[in-house]
Every structure is written in C-alpha cells, then in structure tokens.
Amino acid sequence: MIGRLKGTLVAKQPPSLLVDVNGVGYELDAPMSTFYDLPAAGQPVTLLTHLVVREDSQTLYGFMREADRALFRRLIRVSGIGARMALSILSGMSADEFARCIEAGDVTALSRTPGIGKKTAERLIVEMRGKLESPVPTAPGGGAPGDARTEAAGALVALGYKPAEASKMVEQAAEADLGAEQIIRKALKSRGARP
C-alpha cells in the first residue's frame, strides 16, 4: 500500500495530477479541496494517498489533509458510494461541513452535490451518523477575503454552477469579513436554493 508521496508536482489538471518521486511519475486523482492547496507546478509537494485496486485498474488518490483521506476511506465503504462519488463529495464540501450535514440529517445540502440524489443522501446519513469525528466549528471570517472568495467560487463550481456564474454569484454575495461558508450560503440563498 502506498500511504504517502513526497516529490515534485509536475502537472495538475483536475481531477488528475502527476507527482515525480525520484524519477518515477505517479498519477493521482484528487478532490478539489486538495487542488486549492497545491503549490505551482515544479514545486515540492507531499500528499497522503489511498490506493484502490480493482480487477481492471489500480488508481491512486491523493489528499493534502488526513481528515479528507479518512473521510474518503469511510465513504467508499458505504454501499453504492464509489471512489468517484467520494471525490465529488470532498470537492463540494469540507470534511467538517460533511460531518455537520450528516449529524444534522441535512438531506438537502448533501443532495446538492453532483451525483448524489435524495436516496443516496438519506443512505449516507443513516450509515454514517455517529461514526464521524465531531466537526470543528468554523470561525466567521476566517482567512483572507480573497481566499474565501476563491474557495466559495470553487465550491459553487463543484456544486454544478459554471465558473463564470459562480464568480458572479460570489461577487454579489461577498462582504468584507465573510468566510467562504457564509459567502456560499448567501450566494445559494440569492438563487433560491436553501443554504
């Protein structure tokens, strides 16, 4: 099992990236939450990994944070949730946000993730409630405003909005000291979606 890679980031093209480790190029798939934190190509990078071996393929998945890898591993154990859907979930919300949705039984928020319908969201809640670490509360206005806007726009794109539309929604919703989560909620509320 490959648990970690430390090398040079060669290329990144969501959802795939290439890391050179002492002359060997490793192809990985990663969620958008990892892509936001990646350095520029040519820079050193360390990724936590999970290897999925199937009859017809071997796929390596990469994560910047242990919480994301742990959630990915829990998700792929749920009946009907494959690695692609787990990446989609991690691209649309943080591990803490996911845990909050599970504990609150928020089917609507979970089903906003592309590929997850109401029944899948309900199954996730039933199978995962009480099994996740309690989420850490997010401090309002955490991070620089530009970072929060970028994160919010990326999350809206992961939820299925076109990049131009997501940027416009963020600009209309963003205020000086709002964090990414508050911007996303406000943007979705302005579109009539339940935040």
- Structure token pair of residue 172: 């209309």
Domains of the chain: residue spans and CATH:
4-63 (2.40.50.140), 70-128 (1.10.150.20), 145-190 (1.10.8.10)
| 134-162: pLDDT as tens digits | 443 333 333 344 467 777 777 777 777 77
Average pLDDT over residues 120-125: 88
pLDDT value at position 140?
A: 35
Average pLDDT over residues 33-47: 92
pLDDT value at position 142?
A: 37
Q: Indicate the residue type of 143.
A: G
Residue 50, beta-bridge partner list: 61
Average pLDDT over residues 105-114: 86
Residue 195 vs residue 13, higher pLDDT: 13
Of 64-73, 107-116, 185-194, least confident by mean pLDDT is 185-194
| 168-188: pLDDT as tens digits | 888 888 776 778 888 888 888
- With cut-offs at 50, 70 and 90, classify the pLDDT of residue 193: low
